[in-house]
A and B are shown apart, each in its own frame.
Chain A
Amino acid sequence: MWTEGPEASRLRGSAPVFSMNQETSKRWVAVVGNPNAGKSTLFNALTGLRQRVGNYPGVTVEKRTGTAYTLHGEPMELIDLPGMYSLSVRSPDEEIALKVLRGESADLPRPDAILCVVDASNLERNLFLVTQVMELGLPVLVALNMVDMAEAQGVRLHPDELSQSLGIQFIPTQAHRGKGLVELRAALGQKLTGPGPRRWTMPPPLAVAVGQIAAAWRESLPAELRAEGKALELLAGSDEGPEGARKLAMAWRERFRKEAYDWSAAVVNARYTYLQNVLKEAGVGVGMSGGNWTDWIDAAVLHPVAGWGILAGMMMALFVSIFSIASYPMSWIDGGFTHLGGWLQEVMPSGLFRDLLIDGVLAGVGGVVIFLPQILILFFFLGLLEDSGYLARAAFLLDRVMHRVGLSGKSFIPLLSSYACAIPGIMATRTVEDPKDRLTTILIAPLMSCSARIPVYTTLLAAAVPVALVPVWQKAGAMLGLYILGTGTAFLLAWVFRKKMLGGGSPPLILELPPYRSPALRTILLRMWERAVVFLRRAGTVILALSILLWFVSNFPRTSEDPSAKLAGSYAGQLGHWLEPVIRPLGFDWRIGIGLVASFAAREVFVSTMSIVYHVEGEEEGLIEAMRKATWPDGSAIYTPLTCLALLVFYVYALQCLSTVAVAKRETGGWRWPAFMLLYMTGLAYLGAWLVQVIGRALGF
């Protein structure tokens, strides 16, 4: 049961104590804190949900809700909010958090209490936000998180003294180990009161201004702290409140401006001075902030030359694993599908349905499912790098390049997410404060090679050169080259968009380097499992439906019994032939044309399509063999290394993903930018593939 702040009390009637939000009959607790303080980990631990977490700031960009229970089994709704350093919001994700805290969110009620999650190893900065949150007038509880890491760094923590000094309860937690949760649940079940009066000393000229403005609020906001908080909001430019208070705030703002008095800096300084004294009085000792080994690793991974070598080495290790380790489970899956096809051939009577199952479903779905091990290895590596804290260092390293092309380091996380999938990448651009920076990041995000490109890259690399003849490291090198091509082009285009089209400079990077941690294997395996489920669900739904459709349009209308003529006369064949004059300069035939059109829905459908196309044509061997044997009417090979390279370049650049277009529309608020994205990327893909052919032929390939 909680005691509400006086403002909330006024809003809901006169009762000073309440047990739940009367609008929704539920208790709502907002979880706030600095980025990377462990909010989502604590949220997951309390609710049993699997909200995405990571060892870098800015993982959560949207609010999420989940049900948690007090020790007495009373339910409460927790709201996990994006991280924020202060209530002076700068980016769209911080705005989401502030709206919820103020009760201005369209889909959530005003919270009944606030759970502040603070990083115990960085108390001063984390408590700055707490002092602001207290001024919102709601009951506040602090989870002193990551106490193990703080103590390992030599920080001495005294939660009871802190509770006494700030007048709110501090509970030590280790969210990733589930420690302190019982105490937290117990505290959430107890009476929580709104914070008392302000404890930090306001500088004299400001104190007079705030006192006067707050007095104008007092009629509607009896709580002194809340009234002062509102006064500060009005001074900062808010236009909500009684007319008298607004006029006073405007007058004071003007006076401060004339006197060149930076009142907001004075507030920040006053809060920090207060917090330094609180920490000193509470006996909180400052540790070694990470220790020597952190500095030693950072010296290597952040080195302007060695750092790049380490990053390239890690990427190579990733791709070597993708090719070498994954080849075993891939051959098992392939064998399984071949066996299943043979069995169906034996037990089912001949007919259309059997053909659909073998040449459509098994060829199409099996052709994509086989790549599951490679995708899981990618996520295992990304999980290791992310959880260890290395990825934030990679962001720091890349910031030099990104700054030159006009992007801020904040674009790194969205771009990094795009290597998995452009959709969460584009959504993660909400952490980017500058709207032009954000738009540029959205426009280039799909150029990062996503996991759906892996099946296409692997298939085409294998078709280009016989697998047995090429050592693994060369294939890994080729793969790395494709990733670098996409990333390099993205940076180049970012420069064009940012400097030439959208204009403006890029803000400096303020990046918090998280501490190094030994990766939690359970978290990584859990994420791999989630990816596997997502991938298989997709194979069983979208890819399955597309495979059925592709099989149908590759078989009908039936103009001939000869497999090749049957495909050529089908709807898909007709479309391919219609398209061939356009793609012929790229070295692509009409069958590839079918694949290009079909994969507009999703890139990996190219593999399914080619698999179905060659099955319909009566090829009994695997896709790679069928592709190698495919010829032009004059008998020359279609899939020469040059054509495969042109096709690879096409897929590096092309926006072959309807879902990315949909999410870009949502995030940019219209069709203008997604249409531009589709046009420029398709044009780039065409131009790139054409240049490969022209230059390749000129060089005698």
Chain B
Amino acid sequence: MKENWQNIVVGVLVLAAVLYLGIKFFGGGGGKGTGCGKCSS
């Protein structure tokens, strides 16, 4: 039971990471707002 909540948190975080990266790199369609944010462009 103690480990259960940790598994749920990990599952949510992994899903969130996948979603975030998908939107970040493939969801912008080019133009301002796309990219890694490494530069302020």
Main secondary structure of the interface of A (DSSP, over half): helix
A356 touches B13 (CB 8 A): yes
A542 touches B2 (CB 8 A): no
A423 is contacted by which of B3, B6, B20, B39 (Cβ under 8 Å)? B39
For residue A541, CB closer than 8 A to chain B, the reply is yes
Give 1 or 0 for each of A356-367: 1 = CB within 8 Å of chain B CB: 100000000000
Q: Please, which residue of chain B has its CB at the minimum distance from the CB of A356?
A: B10
Total interface residues on A, CB under 8 Å, equals 36
Give 1 or 0 for each of A646-688: 1 = CB within 8 Å of chain B CB: 0000000000011100110110000000000000000000000
Give 1 or 0 for each of B14-35: 1 = CB within 8 Å of chain A CB: 1011101100110010110011
Main secondary structure of the interface of B (DSSP, over half): helix
- In the bound complex, what is the Cα–Cα distance between A378 and B38 (angstroms)? 15
B36 touches A349 (CB 8 A): no
**Given A534-B40, A552-B14: A546 touches B21 (CB 8 Å cut-off):** yes
B36 touches A663 (CB 8 A): no
- In the bound complex, what is the Cα–Cα distance between A548 and B41 (angstroms)? 26
For residue A517, CB closer than 8 A to chain B, the reply is no
- In the bound complex, what is the Cα–Cα distance between A52 and B9 (angstroms)? 41
B17 touches A545 (CB 8 A): yes
- In the bound complex, what is the Cα–Cα distance between A248 and B28 (angstroms)? 49
Chain A residue numbers with a CB within 8 Å of B9 are: 353
For residue A427, CB closer than 8 A to chain B, the reply is yes
**Given A542-B21, A666-B31: A352 touches B6 (CB 8 Å cut-off):** yes
A548 touches B13 (CB 8 A): yes
State the Cβ distance, A473 to closest chain B Cβ, in Å: 29
Chain A residue numbers with a CB within 8 Å of B13 are: 356, 548
Chain B residue numbers with a CB within 8 Å of A452 are: 38
B14 touches A421 (CB 8 A): no
**Given A546-B17, A549-B14: A421 touches B30 (CB 8 Å cut-off):** no
Give 20 CB contacts A-B under 8 Å. A351-B6, A352-B3, A353-B9, A356-B10, A420-B39, A421-B38, A423-B41, A452-B38, A541-B37, A545-B17, A545-B21, A546-B21, A549-B14, A601-B25, A658-B36, A659-B36, A662-B25, A662-B35, A663-B34, A665-B30
| Interface residues, chain B, with chain A CB atoms under 8 Å away | 2-3, 5-7, 9-10, 13-14, 16-18, 20-21, 24-25, 28, 30-31, 34-41
Excluding A351-B7, A549-B21, A662-B30, 16 further A-B contacts by CB distance (< 8 Å) are A356-B13, A423-B35, A424-B40, A427-B41, A538-B36, A542-B21, A542-B37, A545-B16, A545-B21, A546-B17, A546-B21, A548-B16, A549-B17, A659-B36, A663-B35, A666-B31
5 tightest A-B CB contacts, nearest first: A351-B6, A353-B6, A659-B35, A545-B17, A548-B17
